[in-house]
């Protein structure tokens, strides 16, 4: 009993310090979330509706536990789904500047409030992800977006969109186009008469 009484003040002080640490972390989370909310509409509002939907769908798809946060690995594949294959150092830099410590994170014993959460353990909120993805999309060369679309047609890497490619995509999209309509589309844009639409022709069509 004497041992417990003599250590009670220290235990209470330790508990108080832990509560203070948790309060500070919660305040930091709230501040970062508020900052992200104030910044996100600027970049996000410049995207087309379809692009905004893609960003939100990517986050929802890879937020596997549906807690409103994505970790490093989920962040990496979500960006890849949007066409951005960023190197690890760049991903970690983005997490450092936009990420927050997840509620479940516990610092190593003895580190108290001085501990800095490793970038790889930080998570992103939807607002932060929207901000990052929006800025990447706005900075992307329009040709990159066009080439992504071309690759969706030319899945075999032929360097050309054939009638079969057009037929397959029309079927996948549920477009009820007749065979002669599909053939007419190829013929109209096949400027070199090679039986399909080449990469440069496709870029020219989309850019003009």
Q: What is the DSSP secondary-structure string of 65-130? A: T-SSEE-HHHHHHHHHHTT----HHHHHHHHHHH-B--TT--PPTT-GGGPPPPGGG-BEEHHHHH
Same domain, 133 and 178: no
pLDDT classification of 203: cutoffs 50, 70, 90 = confident
Within a domain: 73: yes
Within a domain: 111: no
Same domain, 8 and 89: yes
Domain count, the chain: 2
Give every CB contact of residue 61 below 8 A, 6+ residues apart in sequence: 78, 81
pLDDT single digits (tens) 145-168? 788 888 888 888 888 998 898 888
Domain that holds residue 164: 143-207
Same domain, 127 and 25: yes
Same domain, 132 and 190: no
Within a domain: 27: yes
Q: What is the pLDDT of residue 149?
A: 83
Same domain, 87 and 165: no
Query: Percent of the chain scored above 70 by pLDDT?
Result: 77
Backbone Cα Rg of the chain: 25
Is the separation of the CB atoms in 62 and 76 below 8 Å?
no
Within a domain: 14: yes
pLDDT single digits (tens) 58-109? 999 999 888 899 999 999 999 999 989 999 999 999 999 999 988 877 776 7
Same domain, 136 and 150: no
Greater confidence (13 vs 131) lies with 131
Same domain, 129 and 150: no
Same domain, 91 and 32: yes
Average pLDDT of the chain is 81
Residue 86: both structure tokens together:
């960023």
For residue 147, the domain's CATH number is 1.10.238.10
pTM: 0.57
**DSSP conformation class of 162:** E
Same domain, 160 and 123: no
């Amino acid at each position: 009993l004497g041992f417990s009484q003599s250590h009670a003040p220290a235990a209470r002080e330790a508990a108080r310090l832990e509560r203070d640490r948790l309060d500070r972390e919660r305040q930091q989370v709230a501040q970062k979330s508020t900052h992200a909310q104030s910044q996100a509409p600027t970049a996000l509002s410049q995207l087309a509706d379809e692009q905004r939907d893609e960003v939100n769908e990517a986050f929802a798809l890879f937020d596997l536990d549906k807690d409103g946060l994505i970790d490093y690995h989920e962040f990496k594949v979500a960006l890849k789904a949007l066409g951005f294959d960023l190197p690890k150092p760049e991903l970690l830099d983005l997490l450092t500047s936009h990420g927050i410590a997840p509620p479940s994170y516990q610092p190593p014993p003895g580190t108290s409030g001085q501990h800095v959460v490793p970038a790889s353990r930080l998570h992103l909120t939807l607002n932060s992800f929207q901000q990052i993805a929006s800025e990447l999309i706005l900075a992307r060369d329009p040709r990159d977006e066009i080439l992504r679309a071309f690759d969706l047609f030319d899945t075999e890497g032929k360097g050309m969109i054939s009638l079969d490619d057009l037929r397959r995509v029309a079927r996948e999209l549920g477009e009820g186009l007749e065979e002669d309509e599909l053939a007419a589309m190829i013929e109209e844009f096949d400027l070199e008469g090679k039986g399909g639409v080449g990469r440069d022709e496709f870029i020219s069509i989309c850019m003009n």
